[in-house]
Amino acid sequence: MTANVQSMFSVRLTPWHRFGAVLDDAPSVDDAIGLAGLDWTVERVSLADLDVPGLQFGPDHAAIVRTDTRDVLGIVGSRYTPVQNAEKFRFFDPIVSAGRATMETAGALGRGEKVWILAKSITAEVVPGDPVESYLLLAGSHDGTSAITVLPTGVRVVCQNTLGMALRGKGSRLTIRHTASAPQRLEDAGRVMAETEAAFGETIERFKFLASRNLDPEVYAKALVPDAPEGTNNTRRENARAAILRSYEEGPGADKARGSAWAAYNAATHWISHERPSDNASAEDTARATWLPQGSGTQLRERALKIALEMADGSTEYVAASDAVSMVDDPAEMQRQIGRSLMAEMLGS
């Protein structure tokens, strides 16, 4: 399947890869499970009961197996407790029932190893006619590689750019490991939603600050994508800056707050979200298809917001040279250096 997507649904907007059911209206939590193709369960199976040539693990390990297809999704340790897809959806029940969120998209990757659920929450305008929407993402795995993670994200409606969020430490993100207490911790939806709403409010204030400050887009583009070290090829970076400036002049929403730091930042997020080439196409395609925060674009998007805020505030210290080099020329190195905690949680690295 394109982008390794096994099944999914989305509301109103056709996914870029044109796979999955597109709905006119947001479904209930109960209906969303079936529409996403996630109405199946998993179970622990002793490795002794599996006939897999060459399979060698310790006596405390077990396989996580889909009960409908009998596919082995992963090998896990003795403390690993499966969390069913239905239990993950139950996290959204209180906030959807209270009218604080609506189901937006959900689905599975591969054979069902990884699943994601996205709910739409608040909408606010940065400048007139330029709304930003808040979403709450739950992502997890059945293969033992990652914990369940719940975190907020934002999207600029006019151009569908994914934006950075003002996460207030780890309070705005919930991480749940697959242990016996996982289902109980998934009942913590109210606190997480309150934290998400607070983070979104803070983020909108930061975006409004960017909209109130002038910023030269060429200066910003060069701060985000500086020249390569002397003696090395600079073409890739020049092309990146040219694409950002092209988005600034011609991209969707380019007429909103032109000349401001908000306009420059959105030119960068448009390039990151829609145009930037990647050395790891599989990870980037998956991120675009599912909203999962993986691929080097996640860290680059966060850095773009940081630099925009610092430049709008008059700072001249934007990014360490070593980080700047890795952002464009070596995405793998960037993933090792930036956002290590998030990548470890989501990808099990």
227 and 140 in a common domain: no
Helix (H, G, I), strand (E, B) or coil at 61: coil
Q: What is the pLDDT of residue 18?
A: 56
Residue 248 tokens read as: 């600034």
Q: What is the pLDDT of residue 154?
A: 74
Distance separating alpha carbons of residues 181 and 287, to the nearest angstrom: 29
Residue 57 tokens read as: 């693990």
Those residues whose C-beta lies under 8 Å from the C-beta of residue 208, and which sit 6 or more positions away, are 126, 127
Nearest to 13 by CA among 126, 163, 155: 155
Nearest to 203 by CA among 173, 231, 166, 178: 166
242 and 149 in a common domain: no
Q: What is the pLDDT of residue 65?
A: 94
Q: What is the pLDDT of residue 100?
A: 85
Distance separating alpha carbons of residues 133 and 197, to the nearest angstrom: 11
220 and 99 in a common domain: no
Q: What is the pLDDT of residue 293?
A: 47
β-bridge pairing 42-46 and 21-23? unpaired
Q: What is the pLDDT of residue 58?
A: 66
Q: What is the pLDDT of residue 241?
A: 93
Those residues whose C-beta lies under 8 Å from the C-beta of residue 58, and which sit 6 or more positions away, are none
Which of 184, 204, 224 corresponds to the end of one domain? 204
Per the structure, the complete domain to which residue 155 belongs is given by 2-204
275 and 222 in a common domain: yes
Which of 160, 188, 204 corresponds to the end of one domain? 204
Q: What is the pLDDT of residue 222?
A: 93
147 and 29 in a common domain: yes
Identity of the residue numbered 224: L
151 and 41 in a common domain: yes
Sequential pLDDT tens for the chain (349 residues): 445 788 888 887 655 445 677 888 999 999 999 999 999 999 999 887 776 655 666 678 899 999 999 999 999 988 899 999 999 998 898 888 888 889 998 999 889 999 989 898 888 888 888 888 888 888 889 999 888 888 777 776 656 555 555 444 444 567 888 888 888 778 776 677 777 777 788 888 889 999 999 999 999 999 999 888 887 888 888 999 999 999 999 988 888 888 999 999 999 988 887 777 655 545 555 555 444 444 456 678 888 988 999 999 885 554 433 343 333 444 343 333 333 333 333 333 3
Nearest to 226 by CA among 324, 338, 334: 324
User: Does the reported pTM lie above 0.85?
Assistant: no
Distance separating alpha carbons of residues 21 and 8, to the nearest angstrom: 7
Count CA atoms within 13 Å of residue 240 on its CB side: 26
Q: Count structural domains, the chain.
A: 2
192 and 295 in a common domain: no
Q: What is the DSSP string of 218-244?
A: HHHHHHHSPPPPTTS--HHHHHHHHHH
298 and 338 in a common domain: yes
Strand order in the sheet with 72-76: 42-46, 62-66, 72-76
225 and 165 in a common domain: no
147-174 CB burial, b ≥16 within 10 A, e <16: bbbbbbbbbbebbbbbbbbbbeeeebbb
Those residues whose C-beta lies under 8 Å from the C-beta of residue 70, and which sit 6 or more positions away, are none
Instruction: Please name the residue ranges forming H helices in the chain.
Output: 29-35, 85-90, 93-97, 182-185, 189-211, 217-224, 235-250, 261-270, 281-290, 297-312, 321-329, 331-337, 340-347
Do 23 and 10 form a contact (C-beta atoms < 8 A)? Answer: yes
Which of 144, 174, 204 corresponds to the end of one domain? 204
SS3 content of the chain, % helix, strand, coil (to 5): 40, 20, 40
232 and 190 in a common domain: no
109 and 219 in a common domain: no
189 and 73 in a common domain: yes
